[in-house]
Amino acid sequence: MRRFQPRLLPTLAAALLLPLLIAAGNWQWNKASAKRALQQQLDSRGAESAVQISTTLADPQALRYRRIVAQGYYEPQYQVLIDNRTLHEKAGFHVVTPLRIEGSELRLLVNRGWIPANAEHREVPQVKTPTGKVEIAGTAVVPGAYFFTLGTDHSSRTTDWQSVWQNLDLHRYVNSAPFPIQPIVIELDAQSSAGGFAREWRRPDERLLSHLSYAFQWWGMAATTVVLWLVLNFRKVR
C-alpha cells in the first residue's frame, strides 16, 4: 500500500522549478501573441490607402505599418550601413539613406534594402544613390529594441559621415545629424524604382510557431515536474 507523504527536498525543488517553467512558457506565449498582433496590424494597415508623409513631425505609432509615399532628395553623405544583415544565408548590410522631404527641412530615413558584403568584410561597400528628385513608397516601421546598439562601433570603419553601425540606433542618429528627422523608418517597396536593392522584409510574425512550440515545451516540463513530485512522494506503508 502507498500513501502520499510529501518529502522536503522534492517539494522544495518543485516549488522552485514550477514558477520558473510556467513563467518561461508564458513569456514565449506572450511573444507569440505580440507578434501575431503586429502582423494583424500590418495586414490591416497595409490594405489601407497610402498616406503622404507630413512635413511636420508625425506620431510614429499612428504611422506604424502604414504605406507611406514621399517626394524628396536622397542625401548619401548622411547614409548609414547596418551590419550583420543576412539574405539567403549571405552576409551583408541594409542601406539606410535620409530623404530630404520636398518643401521641408525634415528628413525621412529610408531603408533601401540589402547589399552583399565585400570579400573583406571590413571594406565598406560602394553604394549607388539616385541624384535629383525621387518618389519613394514603402511601409513605415517604428524603431524598436532591436535597433539599439549594445556596443560602440569602431571609428576606423567610418568614411566621412557614411559609417557601418551594428544597429540603427535612432537616438544616436538624431543626436549626430544636423537636421530633424521623422521618428520612423520606411522599408522601401520591392516594386519601387527609387534606388532600392534586395528587399525581402521580415514579417512581424516570423518564428511565431517556434515561440508557441517553446511555450508548450516549457509548460510540458512544468507538468512533468508535477508528475515526478507526485511519484516521488507516494511511499510504501509497511
Which of the four pLDDT bands, split at 50, 70 and 90, describes residue 160? very low
Q: Which of 197, 55, 181 is nearest to 109 (CA)?
A: 181
**14 has pLDDT over 70:** yes
Distance, CA of 185 to CA of 181 (rounded, Å): 10
Average pLDDT for 7-35: 92
**90 has pLDDT over 80:** yes
Could you tell me how far CA 231 lies from the centroid of its own chain? 45
Stated pTM of the model: 0.77
**159 has pLDDT over 50:** no
Distance, CA of 196 to CA of 232 (rounded, Å): 63
CA R_g for the chain: 25
Question: Which of 5-19, 88-102, 222-236 has the highest mean predicted lDDT (pLDDT)?
Answer: 88-102
Query: Mapped to the 3 state alphabet, what secondary structure does the chain carry?
Result: CEEECCCHHHHHHHHHHHHHHHHHHHHHHHHHHHHHHHHHHHHHHHCCCCEECCCCCCCHHHHCCCEEEEEEEECHHHCEEEEEEEECCEEEEEEEEEEEECCCCCEEEEEEEEEECCCCCCCCCCCCCCCCEEEEEEEEECCCHHHCCCCCCCHHHCECCEEEECCCCHHHHHHHCCCCEEEEEEEECCCCCCCCCECCCCCCCCCHHHHHHHHHHHHHHHHHHHHHHHHHHEEECC
Q: In the chain, what percentage of residues exceed pLDDT 70? A: 91
Q: Which of 83, 112, 109 is nearest to 95 (CA)?
A: 112
Per-residue pLDDT at 7: 83
**What tens digit of pLDDT does each residue of 41-82 get?**
888 888 888 899 988 898 999 999 999 999 999 999 999 999
Per-residue pLDDT at 145: 47
| Distance in Å from the first CA to the final CA of the chain | 8
Per-residue pLDDT at 70: 95
If you average pLDDT over every residue of the chain, what do you get?
87
- Beta carbons within 10 angstroms of residue 157's beta carbon: 15
Average pLDDT for 199-217: 91
Per-residue pLDDT at 151: 42
**236 has pLDDT over 80:** no
Per-residue pLDDT at 207: 84
Per-residue pLDDT at 217: 96
Distance, CA of 218 to CA of 210 (rounded, Å): 12
In the block, residue with C-alpha cell 527609387: 194
**What tens digit of pLDDT does each residue of 108-147 get?**
999 999 999 998 888 888 899 999 999 999 999 987 644 4
Which of the four pLDDT bands, split at 50, 70 and 90, describes residue 237? low
